[in-house]
């Protein structure tokens, strides 16, 4: 791919794509016998023009020295390492409007065996079935805990399709409220989470959803039997983790959303580029720090293969966080949380008075009942 911009204006990420994009396109089309996805081409073109004043700019005038400066427009491409912070800020603003302030949350991570990852990544509709199955598994777990109350919890689901090295690894990170609304419109705390049961529920929901999605499609014949056998191959279910959040949920949201708003690695993780090969590093959960070297064409393929199709939602909301439901229960939840905060303040004051009476210089202990504030 050619560009009229001098390399001094391009960052290292843009240089790699500028010099090797056309080679990557030829290699990919020869292997797959079809044109590259149109959203790949569109995002690369936008990313390479990011900051180029010939595409558009804002001009600023200093009122003191009268000097002017032109700042090129950003591209807002999902492939751009310059613009991802703006995208993260956008996701965070949305999360602030959706997640109830003062509600305790926990992170739930759902993964699947390597054998079925290629199927999940094959088409957007399979990715959606994958994400919806995760929400149903968590909702079913809570429903089985208190079946008569029919508690509806809130879920923010973040779909990640790659690992830290850019390798294909679809998995779900879910921000789950530790509370919900029961069938009588009352707020109920939900601290129960049995991961052994969730493993089985997650396995059933995702395999059932995928079998339904591939039936009657070209994927049906090669995959239906494989999916059915996975119940016996993994008798204890599929892996899951559930970790309570002790601090503000905002930190978790930022961590998760940056992975759906940018490529798998950042510029600072690229250690060297000699014009043909790229060396980069990442932290592996099992092995620790890892350094890997790929050809530039392989590197581009690793980074771009996870780019979602246009308008595909990588972040989804379920239960009381779904748009249609949230507005109806917002006033109820706000009233309940205000009451909890009032009780917490009374407890702190009581403990403070008791501590002061027992010791002149004693400090009151803190009792907190509301965590996960988005402010």
Q: What is the DSSP string of 59-71?
A: EEE-TTT--EEEE
35 with 153, same domain? no
Average pLDDT, the chain: 83
315 with 172, same domain? yes
Q: Which helix (H) or strand (E) holds 323?
A: helix 323-358
pLDDT single digits (tens) 304-349: 988 888 888 888 999 988 887 877 777 667 666 665 555 556 666 6
For residue 216, report the phi and psi dihedrals to the nearest 5 degrees. Answer: 85, 5
Q: Which helix (H) or strand (E) holds 336?
A: helix 323-358
Question: Which residue range forms the structural domain that includes residue 48?
Answer: 7-72
pLDDT of residue 256: 78
Check pLDDT > 80 for residue 283: yes
197 with 217, same domain? yes
Choose one of 18, 44, 72: the last residue of a domain.
72
Mean pLDDT, rounded, for 66-83: 81
**pTM of model > 0.95:** no
* 69, 1 contact by CB (below 8 A): no
Mean pLDDT, rounded, for 133-152: 93
* 228, 211 contact by CB (below 8 A): yes
How far, in Å, CA of 365 to CA of 361, rounded?
13
pLDDT of residue 55: 77
Bridge partners (DSSP) of residue 317 are 156
135 with 183, same domain? yes
pLDDT single digits (tens) 37-71: 999 999 999 888 887 778 788 888 888 888 888 88
88 with 129, same domain? yes
Total Cβ atoms within 10 A of residue 9: 12
Q: Burial level of 63, CB count in 10 A (0-12/13-18/19+)?
A: exposed
Check pLDDT > 80 for residue 33: yes
Q: How many residues does the chain have?
A: 375
Angle between helices 84-98 and 249-260 (to 10 degrees): 140
Of 345, 349, 350, nearest to 369 (Cα)?
345
pLDDT band at residue 297 under the 50/70/90 scheme? very high
116 with 204, same domain? yes
* 149, 188 contact by CB (below 8 A): yes
C-alpha distances in Å from residue 279, one per residue of 77, 270, 272, 292: 24, 6, 5, 6
88 with 142, same domain? yes
* 147, 187 contact by CB (below 8 A): no
User: Which of 152-156, 200-204, 353-357 is most confident?
Assistant: 200-204
The two tokens of residue 292 are 């890997």
C-alpha distances in Å from residue 240, one per residue of 24, 84, 139, 191, 324: 36, 28, 14, 17, 29
Mean pLDDT, rounded, for 87-113: 82
Bridge partners (DSSP) of residue 284 are 288
How far, in Å, CA of 241 to CA of 198, rounded?
9
In a domain, 315, yes or no: yes
The total number of structural domains that make up the chain: 2
The two tokens of residue 117 are 């990852």
221 with 168, same domain? yes
28 with 124, same domain? no
How far, in Å, CA of 202 to CA of 196, rounded?
10
């Amino acid at each position: 791919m050619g560009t009229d911009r001098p390399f001094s204006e391009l960052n290292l990420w843009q240089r790699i794509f500028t010099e090797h994009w056309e080679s990557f396109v030829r290699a990919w089309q020869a292997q797959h016998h079809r044109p590259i996805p149109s959203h790949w081409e569109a995002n690369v073109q936008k990313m390479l023009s990011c900051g180029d004043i010939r595409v558009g700019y804002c001009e600023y005038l200093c009122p003191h020295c009268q000097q002017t400066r032109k700042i090129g427009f950003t591209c807002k491409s999902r492939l751009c390492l310059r613009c991802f912070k703006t995208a993260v800020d956008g996701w965070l603003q949305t999360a602030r409007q959706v997640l109830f302030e003062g509600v305790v949350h926990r992170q739930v991570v759902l993964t699947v065996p390597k054998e079925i990852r290629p199927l999940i990544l094959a088409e957007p509709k399979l990715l959606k079935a994958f994400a919806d199955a995760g929400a149903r598994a968590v909702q079913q777990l809570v429903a089985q805990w208190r079946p008569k109350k029919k508690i509806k919890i809130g879920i923010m689901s973040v779909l990640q399709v790659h690992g830290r090295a850019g390798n294909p690894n679809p998995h779900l990170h879910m921000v789950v409220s530790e509370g919900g609304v029961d069938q009588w419109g009352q707020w109920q705390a939900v601290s129960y989470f049995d991961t052994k049961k969730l493993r089985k529920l997650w396995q059933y929901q995702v395999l059932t959803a995928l079998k339904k999605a591939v039936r009657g499609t070209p994927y049906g014949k090669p995959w239906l039997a494989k999916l059915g056998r996975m119940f016996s191959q993994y008798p204890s279910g599929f892996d899951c983790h559930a970790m309570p959040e002790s601090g503000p949920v905002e930190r978790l949201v930022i961590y998760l959303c940056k992975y759906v708003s940018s490529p798998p690695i950042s510029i600072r993780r690229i250690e060297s580029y000699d014009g043909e090969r790229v060396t980069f590093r990442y932290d592996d959960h099992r092995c620790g720090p890892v350094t890997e070297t790929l050809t530039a064409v392989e590197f581009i393929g690793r980074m771009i293969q996870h780019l979602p199709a246009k308008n595909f939602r990588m972040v989804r909301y379920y239960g009381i966080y779904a748009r249609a439901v949230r507005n109806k229960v917002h006033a109820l939840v706000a009233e309940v949380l205000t009451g909890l905060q009032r009780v917490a303040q009374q407890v702190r004051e009581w403990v403070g008075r008791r501590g002061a009476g027992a010791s002149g210089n004693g400090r009151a202990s803190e009792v907190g009942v509301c965590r996960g504030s988005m402010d």
